Amino acid sequence: MSQFYHSNQRRIRANVHIRELAATVNLNHKEFIQPLFLDEGINQQTPIATLRGVNADTLDSILQQIESDVKAGISKFLLFPVPAKKGTSNFDYSFVTTAIKQIKKTFGNSVWIAPDVCLCAYTTHGHCGILDAAGTKVLNDESVKELAGYALQLAQSGANCIAPSDMMDGRISAIRNILDTNRFDDVSIMSYAAKFSSQFYGPFRDACKSTPGDDCNLHNRKTYQASSLNKNDAVLSTLRDINEGADIVMVKPAVLYLDVIHELSTTIKVPLAAYHVSGEYQSIELLAQHNIIERDKAHLEIWTALRRGGANIIISYAARHAKEWIEKMEY
């Protein structure tokens, strides 16, 4: 070919060695968090129908699952309790606090446990807080008080981190205050700071039995979760949570809000987590199940996009495969 090029970009792609050297993003399994579902209503580990490859665990099986995950290189867990009994007040958190005590007794400091703090799985109506008498509004201050008390019980049971996902105003400040007042100043807070109202939570809500129900007059969570039409709201919520004491902040969903992840990554100085949510995960799983894409390569591509967008931490239902897949990753 006689034509000369001022820039030959194919040279930097020519072989695996130069592609490795030129990579601007690298994945590390130590930056991954694995969600776990602890279901009080089952007596053995049970596959979650809407989340391919993910199980709901009992008090016994969750210890076995964590042991397996630790062997696979994952030591950080986001814990979601699914209580057998639901109500509208006087919630009983003993099921999850007992589990955390067992986990920490068994694994000690070799694992990092961050229980989710929200009321959606505990309420009959499926909302993330306490409703007013008419069932038309989530009461902010009453919900925050309940959530802060819940967070304290989790810290007392041995949780390393509190992960409030409720999206109430002022809950980070209230949780930080109650933790510090009770000398749990070493327990961190990972805030679901930019949590958007989304259709992509469907499989998760099925697993946690937390879909907003018909027994109230508030049929969605748009009055307290961020709107997909308002990026500024999500950014401001994140900055507020940092000011109130959040140690880690999160964007959820992840892929759909890469623009938010990128903007925050250039603005904030605390670790930024991206939650690849259940609907995003299951979309890949269904495509892979029908041999339309390769499962591991698709997840790796998504994870790479999240890191390239600016996320420091990735929460994924496939995190337990991260070390194996990353080691085999083709550059």
DSSP 207-264: HHT----SSSS--SSTTTSBPTT-HHHHHHHHHHHHHHT-SEEEEESSGGGHHHHHHH
Give the pLDDT band (50/70/90) at residue 136. Answer: confident
| DSSP string of 36-93, one letter each residue | EEEETT-SS-EE-TTSTT-EEE-TTHHHHHHHHHHHTT--EEEEEEE-S--BSSS---
Residue 216 has pLDDT above 70, yes or no: no
SS3 312: coil
Q: For 150-166, how does the pLDDT look when each residue is reduced to its tens digit (9 = 90+)?
A: 999 999 999 999 999 99
| Cα–Cα dist 56/83, whole Å | 12
pLDDT of residue 133: 85
Q: With 70 as the cut, is the pLDDT of residue 261 above it?
A: yes
Angle at Cα 165 formed by Cα 162 and Cα 171, nearest 5°? 70
Query: Is 269 designated active site?
Result: no
Who has greater pLDDT, 167 or 326?
326
Domain boundaries, the chain: 27-327
The band of 214, judged by pLDDT with boundaries at 50, 70 and 90, is: low
Q: What is the dihedral of CA 102, 106, 107, 113, to 10 degrees?
A: 0
Give residue 5's pLDDT: 66
Residue 323: active-site member: no
Rg value, the chain, Cα: 21
Among the residue ranges 213-222, 238-247, 254-263, the one predicted with the least confidence is 213-222
Averaged over 93-99, what is the pLDDT? 96
Angle (CA) 147-279-313 rounded to 5° is: 65
Q: Provide the mean pLDDT of the chain.
A: 94
CA atoms within 13 A on the CB side of 149: 13
**Out of 36-50, 207-221, 228-242, 273-287, which region has the weakest mean confidence (pLDDT)?**
207-221
pLDDT in tens, 181-194: 999 999 999 999 99
Least confident of 63-77, 119-133, 135-149, 231-245: 119-133
Whether the CB-CB separation of 115 and 147 falls below 8 Å is answered with: no
Does residue 148 surpass a pLDDT of 80? yes
Q: Are 218 and 135 in contact (CB under 8 A)?
A: yes
Q: Quick check: 2 pLDDT over 60?
A: no
User: Class of 27-327 per CATH?
Assistant: alpha beta
Q: 101, 195, 269, 328: which is the annotated catalytic residue?
A: 195
Mean pLDDT of 198-207: 88
Classify strands 32-39 and 46-47 as parallel, antiparallel or unpaired.
unpaired
Q: What is the mean pLDDT of residues 313-321?
A: 98
Marked catalytic residue, from 30, 252, 269, 297: 252
